[in-house]
Structure 1
């Protein structure tokens, strides 16, 4: 492993240490050794003791010994692992035909109409791709074409994808993945960063204004501000709402566009709205989506205000072999069916509120918990060495994550210092799942969050 890769992985939260391989069960050791021989560089496993699953249902994963794990981490299967309606729709389509967007597909048109109906009417054009990285790559290409600018503004520890272009504005990838000279970083919307006498809206506006000024000073006109509406990699900052209006005004005044990255926060993840940007009362120029769209099938999307993408479409050929093909579209349509039939958004809101309230109650007297924050079924618990100084405690965070895994509940970590517990279950999470989670977390908290060491 190169020193560059070592530095990049050093920050990776909840990473398996290969030095502990000999301590694992024999079958797991052998599979990991075989994996290391054949997989390319950069792959990592998570948890002190990695886990292998053979099946799943709802928010539950089953290992090869039949043990039931509660999944409070994976957002890709948003309506639940192996959801029967999605599985049946995909199987039926796979047995029929899989064609691409060069052929007329009524199913594609139906899906686009249904998906766009969940957006404000001004956002009325949809392009499909395979991954969130591809979606963000296309979004920035269109933004540059529309504005004539090159400058990109993102938050300090943002993650937007893995293509070379998108990696250039994904600072969470670490020093081994350099940022572009046209990229500027701003604070996430953490109210604790606001100076006395100011407001979060003023702070964020000033951050954006300063980034625009610096871009212009170096010869870059602003193309776009792109934000993950949950600020997932920055440590999960979903509230308070409202500050984005000032930010978007500043971006538009400079001739740029606002791209809302809804890969993490979309599809009712935040509970009180289908899309994260809606909570702030703003209208993005471009919205990107990914992971949850097909409940595990590779489908992603970009939604545009038509005036933003029209000229690009007239001048640039865009075709994606699998983006918009029949099978992923069938999965996407089935996911929308489940949202309608199971009232998924309301479930996420109610169970997310119960989860967050329970965590706040369990941790309220802990000297090592700075804050419980989040919205819907996206919750962060910030762990520190001292609540007054707020000095981050990554070691404690990883201990809690692995203690939960040992009790068969899956969570992970996030944040600039990797000291925020990331709790992000499939939206199939039920009230019984919330109860199981909180009972287990209370056991771990008693051992870890109310005594040192």
Structure 2
């Protein structure tokens, strides 16, 4: 290998597979719609694909565009029980016809939902606070952690994404296009073999220890270690099971709390546990959740130790106008019922194993697949032009993603360099749909051969 190999380019999360208006096609019939989008959203407009898609409907694992093309959705973990699931839509609609109001009134469905949701957590997480977005949930979690610890410092992984409030953007390295992180935020490499060799648990714990020492030396102290429990934005890191235990012990000894961000891996997606942190046999002080919680309805929240919440509420109250409404509660309850009644967590295990087998078969044929990681129906597939995992190729991933779109499959990217195909289809996925995906990926890789 050349000693002068160029260093791969770090890619902010919103730049991965993003539409660039400079690539607009003059004769594209969507130009008027695109122009309106740019006028309305301005610089904050983010669209997928070099040629954006106008979507009009969806059902199960499939989405339909305005031109009639149907796409297999391997990207969106928000509609986790399936796009427009009839039971979820019915629950939402029926409750909206009766009553929808803020949470300062008693309502049977709200308490039924919270009791059902609490039953999925360890007993020490006694309280639930609902919000409307994962960003709000993580913002609240950080505020509670800083109050509980009396410290300000936060430890995160180097390509983490935890949301977009002012506070949470500060601890989301993958959201930053320029500039350094604030002094009270220290990053550690994600828990993979490239960073830590064969002993990921010890290596990751040592990195957290060093980060804690840095925060203490800077005068901030340690408020929290916050991780997405499958490290999705970092490129998906799930194994070995239990590797988080040592790092959590380190942050507790430093006086901080452990926040498990379950916004992406939660609600049965990892198959062998309802929550990603349970795969590691750790006890979080706070758990944040969101995205799949309402299957598209804006729901999120935290599960938290009651003593931490009580201490926080001594200083400031918390109220959310739209969270914990009767419609939100009915919708969230329907999602829990569908996951249970349709055995979707088990399906994530069965279809996830079948999917991994298909990916491994492709890897045996194509050396550019340099690694396959993940659990259940949350997988990451690294691509490298020369097969060396130390030479990640975000460009190859971007080309494959756009080629897969031509083969009617939607998929995303992750990782520091955008080198990872991020796979997270709805939990109602079938074996036939896995076959469709594997066929499309094989064709897309061959097209880039």
With normalisation by structure 2, the TM-score equals: 0.95
Distance 1:83 1:48 in 2: 30
Distance 1:209 1:72 in 2: 36
Q: Deviations over 1:220-273 (max 9, x none)?
A: 111100000111111111111212111111111111100000001101111111
| Number of the residue aligned with 1:224 | 224
Contact 2:354 2:434 in 1 (8 A): yes
Contact 1:370 1:390 in 2 (8 A): no
Distance 1:383 1:436 in 2: 20
Task: Tell me the SS of whatever aligns to 2:374.
Answer: strand
Contact 1:24 1:49 in 2 (8 A): no
Deviation (angstroms), 1:324: 0.8
Q: Deviations over 1:155-184 (max 9, x none)?
A: 001000000000000000124475221101
Q: Deviations over 1:11-57 (max 9, x none)?
A: 7111112122125631x111001111112422221112111111110
1:385 equivalent to 2:393? Answer no
Deviation (angstroms), 1:371: 0.6
| Number of the residue aligned with 1:77 | 79
| Number of the residue aligned with 1:282 | 282
| Number of the residue aligned with 1:292 | 292
How do 1:120-199 residues align onto structure 2 when only pairs under 5 Å count? 120-176=122-178, 178-195=180-197, 199=199
| Number of the residue aligned with 1:3 | none
| Number of the residue aligned with 1:329 | 329
Distance 1:25 1:88 in 2: 38
Match among 99, 114, 117 for residue 115 of structure 1: 117
| Number of the residue aligned with 2:25 | 22
| Number of the residue aligned with 1:4 | none
Structure 1 residues 140 and 397 mapped into 2: Cα distance closer, same or farther (>3 Å)?
same
Task: Tell me the SS of whatever aligns to 1:364.
Answer: helix
Contact 2:370 2:389 in 1 (8 A): no
Deviation (angstroms), 1:382: 0.5
Contact 1:379 1:424 in 2 (8 A): yes
| Number of the residue aligned with 1:358 | 358
Structure 1 residues 10 and 240 mapped into 2: Cα distance closer, same or farther (>3 Å)?
closer
Distance 2:102 2:328 in 1: 10
| Number of the residue aligned with 1:52 | 54
Structure 1 residues 151 and 361 mapped into 2: Cα distance closer, same or farther (>3 Å)?
same
Distance 2:364 2:14 in 1: 28
1:433 equivalent to 2:433? Answer yes
| Number of the residue aligned with 1:96 | 98
Contact 1:8 1:173 in 2 (8 A): no
Deviation (angstroms), 1:309: 1.6
Task: Tell me the SS of whatever aligns to 1:387.
Answer: coil
| Number of the residue aligned with 2:369 | 369
Deviation (angstroms), 1:307: 2.2
Structure 1 residues 24 and 344 mapped into 2: Cα distance closer, same or farther (>3 Å)?
farther
| Number of the residue aligned with 1:61 | 63
Distance 1:9 1:388 in 2: 23
| Number of the residue aligned with 2:245 | 245
Q: Deviations over 1:90-117 (max 9, x none)?
A: 1111111111121111211111000010
| Number of the residue aligned with 2:308 | 308
Task: Tell me the SS of whatever aligns to 2:268.
Answer: coil
| Number of the residue aligned with 1:417 | 417
Contact 2:226 2:261 in 1 (8 A): yes
12-21 vs 113-122, greater mean Cα deviation: 12-21
Distance 1:10 1:334 in 2: 31
Contact 1:168 1:178 in 2 (8 A): no
Deviation (angstroms), 1:78: 0.8
Q: Unaligned regions of 5+ residues in structure 1, if any?
A: 1-6
Distance 1:341 1:33 in 2: 44
| Number of the residue aligned with 2:39 | 37
Q: Deviations over 1:397-422 (max 9, x none)?
A: 11110110011100011100011111
Structure 1 residues 104 and 177 mapped into 2: Cα distance closer, same or farther (>3 Å)?
farther
Structure 1 residues 187 and 199 mapped into 2: Cα distance closer, same or farther (>3 Å)?
same
Q: Unaligned regions of 5+ residues in structure 2, if any?
A: 1-9
Distance 1:40 1:110 in 2: 42
Task: Tell me the SS of whatever aligns to 2:303.
Answer: strand
Task: Tell me the SS of whatever aligns to 2:370.
Answer: strand
